[in-house]
């Protein structure tokens, strides 16, 4: 009862600050209070911090593997979302814990507690620094894993013990692999082990984004042996809309407060991150075949990664406030090459005479909200980032929900 009343009071206070932030004199301090109310709600455990932690632990002789959100990203080859924490698995948990603790404390982390992990990874230590970064360190239950391996080996060797669907059980013969994050090879749990990691943790099993990326990884294995003419995605027959696709270049280098600012004003960047769209709508999803994906892979493999800067706030009329990227010509060139390869593709269905590359800040809410976003976004510029991957996305599950269908690395990655 008290908790509910406090939440209502907090929401009312936030609405009041929102109103005040639109006024010239009191706007800046009101905006600062509004952004700071939930300081850690979109804190990013970014790639730089991950690299710093990995270097420290590896320097202490600890063998570590990424798991959880960052571990799945390592398997797919690039960052696919902002991460609030870092999950790692270490070898010989009981003996390595002392070194891990010493190394993380030296980086500014505090050991908070030991907690129960998951079925396969039962031991866990939790660390946090003064900025709000959280690290969870897991150990593997080798005894349980070995028992499961032996049991499944028996099932696989006995034709009469196939499951009800007629399929054989598959065992994770290899728990670990080498993935990639950016241009850095990264040790991670294998795809099979990642699935084990999610078993017994309802919060992880309900993570729609993680499940979509795991499905992408499964699909990659399947498409390696499928013909060019086969559809990338098998669509349900009872859909009330025509699923489509788009191609974008994601941007993950927004400062935390700018990310929070967009979220406050009706642009949930946790669903689709900031990005430069290079093809929308690309083509109906039913027409995206394995051959189309391979053509896209060849196109982006022929491009070199490039740095660009988001340096100014611009508007499309009064409806959309956005950041203008430098090197707009590079993005336009990608769109033009897509038009050459796929003649049926017309950017924005030909609605606009020219294509203007942009990173949308807000296209929702009131005009006052969009003006507040545009005014306050100036303080976070310039933002320097790097184009390294494109995403093919689809709204296969829901007309309003976009998910990554394939990741297209630029050449050299």
- Are 219 and 253 found together in one domain? no
Residue 295: predicted pLDDT = 97
Ordered DSSP codes for 273-328: -SEEEEESS--BGGG-BHHHHHHHHHHHHTSPPEEEEEEEEEEETTTEEEEEES-H
Range of the domain at 369: 245-409
Mean pLDDT of 125-129: 93
Q: For the packed helices 93-106 and 47-59, what is the interaxial angle rounded to 10 degrees?
A: 120
- Are 204 and 62 found together in one domain? yes
- Are 309 and 186 found together in one domain? no
- Are 397 and 252 found together in one domain? yes
Better pLDDT: 163 or 324: 324
Mean pLDDT of 290-297: 96
Ordered DSSP codes for 54-96: HHHHHHTT--EEEEHHHHHHHHHTS--S--SEEEEEESSHHHH
**Within a domain: 106:** yes
Whether pLDDT at 158 is above 90: no
Mean pLDDT of 108-116: 83
Residue 165: predicted pLDDT = 43
- Are 29 and 101 found together in one domain? no
Contacts of 64 (CB under 8 A, 6+ apart): 54, 57, 58, 88, 89, 90, 91, 187
Owner of token pair 């699935």: 195
CATH number at residue 284: 3.90.1140.10
* Burial of 4: CB neighbours in 10 Å, binned 0-12, 13-18, 19+: exposed
Whether pLDDT at 321 is above 70: yes
Better pLDDT: 150 or 156: 150
Mean pLDDT of 342-346: 95
Residue 144: predicted pLDDT = 65
Task: For the chain, give the percent of residues with pLDDT over 70.
Answer: 76
Residue 326: predicted pLDDT = 96
Residue 10: predicted pLDDT = 47
Residue 392: predicted pLDDT = 97
Residue 328: predicted pLDDT = 96
Calculate the alpha carbon distances from 109 to 86, 96, 106, 127, 133 in Å.
13, 17, 7, 6, 8
Residue 413: predicted pLDDT = 64
* 187-229 confidence digits (pLDDT tens): 998 888 888 776 655 555 456 788 888 889 988 877 777 788 8
**Within a domain: 20:** yes
Residue 152: predicted pLDDT = 55
Residue 341: predicted pLDDT = 97
DSSP 167: P
> Torsions phi, psi of 40, nearest 5?
-105, 5
Residue 347: predicted pLDDT = 93
- Are 307 and 249 found together in one domain? yes
Residue 27: predicted pLDDT = 57
**Within a domain: 403:** yes
Mean pLDDT of 345-374: 89
Mean pLDDT of 292-303: 96
Domain count, the chain: 3
3-state SS class at 233? coil
Better pLDDT: 394 or 263: 394
Residue 95: predicted pLDDT = 87
- Are 192 and 291 found together in one domain? no
* 87-104 confidence digits (pLDDT tens): 999 888 888 999 999 999
Whether pLDDT at 170 is above 50: no
Q: How far apart are CA 294 and CA 223, in angstroms?
A: 10
Strand partners, 250: 275
Whether pLDDT at 5 is above 60: no
**Within a domain: 398:** yes
Contacts of 143 (CB under 8 A, 6+ apart): none
Average per-residue pLDDT for the chain:
82
**Within a domain: 158:** no
**Within a domain: 230:** no
* 38-78 confidence digits (pLDDT tens): 454 546 799 999 999 999 999 999 989 999 899 999 999 99
- Are 330 and 403 found together in one domain? yes
Mean pLDDT of 292-299: 96
- Are 186 and 47 found together in one domain? yes
CATH number at residue 212: 3.30.460.40
Q: How far apart are CA 142 and CA 307, in angstroms?
A: 44
Taking a C-beta distance cutoff of 8 angstroms, is the pair 180, 413 a contact? yes
pLDDT confidence of 357, banded at 50, 70, 90?
very high
Better pLDDT: 4 or 108: 108
Residue 366: predicted pLDDT = 84
Taking a C-beta distance cutoff of 8 angstroms, is the pair 370, 321 a contact? yes
158, 193, 225: which is the final residue of a domain? 225
pLDDT confidence of 7, banded at 50, 70, 90?
very low
Q: How far apart are CA 231 and CA 32, in angstroms?
A: 49
Residue 50: predicted pLDDT = 94
Estimate to the nearest angstrom the gap between the alpha carbon of 292 and the chain centroid: 24
- Are 24 and 99 found together in one domain? no
- Are 257 and 219 found together in one domain? no
Contacts of 98 (CB under 8 A, 6+ apart): none
Residue 28: predicted pLDDT = 61
HSE-CB of 395 using CA atoms within 13 angstroms: 19
Residue 35: predicted pLDDT = 55
- Are 60 and 73 found together in one domain? yes
Q: For the packed helices 290-301 and 328-341, what is the interaxial angle rounded to 10 degrees?
A: 140
- Strand 109-116: give its sheet, edge to edge: 109-116, 123-129, 134-139, 85-90, 64-67, 184-189, 176-181
> Torsions phi, psi of 247, nearest 5?
-130, 130
């Amino acid at each position: 009862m008290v908790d509910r009343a406090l939440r209502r009071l907090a929401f009312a206070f936030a609405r009041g600050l929102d109103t005040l932030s639109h006024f010239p004199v009191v706007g800046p301090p009101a905006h600062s209070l509004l952004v700071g109310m939930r300081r850690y709600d979109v804190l990013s455990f970014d790639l730089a911090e991950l690299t710093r932690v990995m270097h420290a632990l590896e320097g202490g002789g600890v063998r570590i593997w990424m798991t959880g959100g960052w571990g799945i990203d390592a398997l797919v080859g690039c960052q696919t979302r902002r991460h609030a924490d870092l999950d790692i698995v270490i070898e010989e948990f009981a003996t390595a814990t002392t070194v891990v603790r010493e190394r993380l404390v030296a980086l500014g982390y505090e050991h908070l507690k030991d907690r129960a992990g998951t079925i396969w990874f039962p031991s866990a230590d939790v660390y946090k620094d003064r900025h709000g970064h959280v690290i969870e360190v897991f150990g593997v239950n080798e005894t349980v894993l070995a028992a499961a391996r032996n049991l499944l080996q028996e099932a696989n060797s006995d034709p009469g013990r196939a499951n009800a669907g007629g399929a054989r059980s598959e065992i994770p013969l290899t728990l670990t692999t080498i993935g990639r994050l950016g241009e850095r090879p990264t040790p991670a749990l294998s795809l099979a082990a990642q699935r084990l990691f999610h078993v017994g943790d309802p919060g992880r099993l309900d993570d729609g984004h993680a499940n979509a990326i795991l499905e992408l990884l499964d699909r990659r294995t399947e498409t390696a042996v499928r013909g060019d003419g086969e559809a990338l995605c098998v669509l349900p027959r009872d859909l009330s809309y025509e699923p489509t696709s788009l191609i974008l270049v994601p941007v993950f280098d927004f400062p935390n407060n700018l990310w929070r600012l967009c979220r406050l004003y009706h642009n949930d960047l946790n669903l689709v991150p900031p990005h430069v769209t290079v093809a929308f709508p690309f083509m109906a999803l039913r027409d995206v075949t394995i051959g189309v994906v391979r053509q896209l892979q060849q196109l982006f493999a022929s491009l070199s990664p490039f740095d660009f800067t988001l340096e100014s706030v611009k508007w499309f009329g009064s409806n959309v406030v956005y950041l203008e990227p430098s090197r707009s010509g590079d993005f336009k060139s990608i769109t033009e090459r897509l038009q050459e390869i796929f003649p049926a593709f017309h950017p924005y269905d030909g609605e606009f005479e020219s294509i203007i590359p942009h990173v949308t800040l807000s296209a929702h809410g009131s005009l006052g909200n969009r003006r507040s976003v545009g005014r306050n976004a100036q303080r976070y510029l310039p933002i320097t980032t790097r184009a390294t991957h494109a995403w093919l996305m689809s709204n296969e599950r829901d007309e309003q929900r976009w998910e990554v269908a394939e990741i297209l690395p630029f050449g050299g990655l």
